[in-house]
Amino acid sequence: MSNSTPPNTPVLTEQPEAKPGPSNLQQRVIYASIGAAMLLGSVWYSSWTFGLFFAAVQVKMLLEFYRMMRADGTKPAKWIGVAAGVIVFGLVYSITHGFQQSPDLFGYRQGATVYPALTGVSEETPMSLWLVSAGGAAYGWLVFGAMLFVVLVLKEIVGWPNNGRPFANIGATLAGLFYVSMPISFFNTVALGPTGYDYRRIFGLLFLVWASDIGAYAAGKTFGKHKLAPSISPGKTWEGWAGGFLLTLAMGWGLSLMMPDVPLTHRLIAAGVVAIFGPIGDLAESMLKRSVGVKDSGTMMPGHGGLLDRFDAFLLVLPVLALLQLLAG
């Protein structure tokens, strides 16, 4: 008999199975719910939380835009652009909100308009003063834009030749302000009614844009056959656009429950603007992403992309609404 002992056999212990994480759909729902709660809560609470929230949103959107520009080989001055964007948003917020709070400082009547320098003149204000105030406001913006250009040129001169194409870099920096900061700043003009800040106006705009997206998605999935812009966004169809248009108009009519003081004509005009220019804004951002070779503008919201992906429709809707407000006085 052998005295050798049998080798020890290792005891296999069962490892607990890793719990599966949330699915992509669950992630989308979770992050969408959190984002919607933050958005609606900040808009509802006060004009200050509204302003801070959208100032932060436009900063993140600008950074996403400049990141995409860098993917295309340009080198925008992102922090100069972000600083300028914050100034633009802050000035529009201060002018619109400050005018509503203290119109007498400018010689205007209370609640006249969100465009005091152009249409808020009182009967007692001389036409010469109105022209001076309107011209002064425009001149101030021109000086700000010109000085920003000077700063950007100086930056490129200091960095030459390490930054590559200097005027392409300047153009990309300024494009972010025109594409992101200025449109987002017009949220301030929408938020102000005749009696001051009114969260319902922002809620109404959000509901219109969401109705356009939901209607387009549902109709496109069900009836979509004819491509809307196949080279830009192959999934979009004319049938989807029509469904979004109809649901947006229906939402405009239904907003009477929340905004009974706003005439039906005004609500339907706003709905029409959203139904037309919202999808165009979405196509514009899709074109931008395809041109630089990226799938999403960012990764801030898993399953949803970046903030630029979420707010792209507003970038064309808001300037058109601001123009209509200006023309209506």
Whether the predicted pLDDT of 111 surpasses 60: no
Whether the predicted pLDDT of 164 surpasses 50: yes
- Which pLDDT band holds residue 110 (cuts at 50, 70, 90)? very low
Percent of residues, the chain, with pLDDT higher than 90:
59
Query: Bigger pLDDT: 132 or 69?
Result: 69
pLDDT, position 14:
52
- Which pLDDT band holds residue 259 (cuts at 50, 70, 90)? very high
- Mean pLDDT in the chain? 83
What is the mean pLDDT of the segment spanning 29-33? 81
Query: Bigger pLDDT: 153 or 1?
Result: 153
3-state SS of the chain is CCCCCCCCCCCCCCCCCCCCCCCHHHHHHHHHHHHHHHHHHHHHHCHHHHHHHHHHHHHHHHHHHHHHHHHCCCCCCHHHHHHHHHHHHHHHHHHHHHHHHCHHHHCECCCCCCCHHHHCECCCCCHHHHHHHHHHHHHHHHHHHHHHHHHHHHHHHHHCCCCCCHHHHHHHHHHHHHHHHHHHHCHHHHHEECCEECHHHHHHHHHHHHHHHHHHHHHHHHHCCCEEECCCEEEEEHHHHHHHHHHHHHHHHHHHHCCCCCCHHHHHHHHHHHHHHHHHHHHHHHHHHHHHCCCCCCCCECCCECHHHHHCCHHHHHHHHHHHHHHHC
User: Over the stretch 294-322, which tens digit does the pLDDT of each residue have?
Assistant: 888 877 666 667 899 999 999 999 999 99
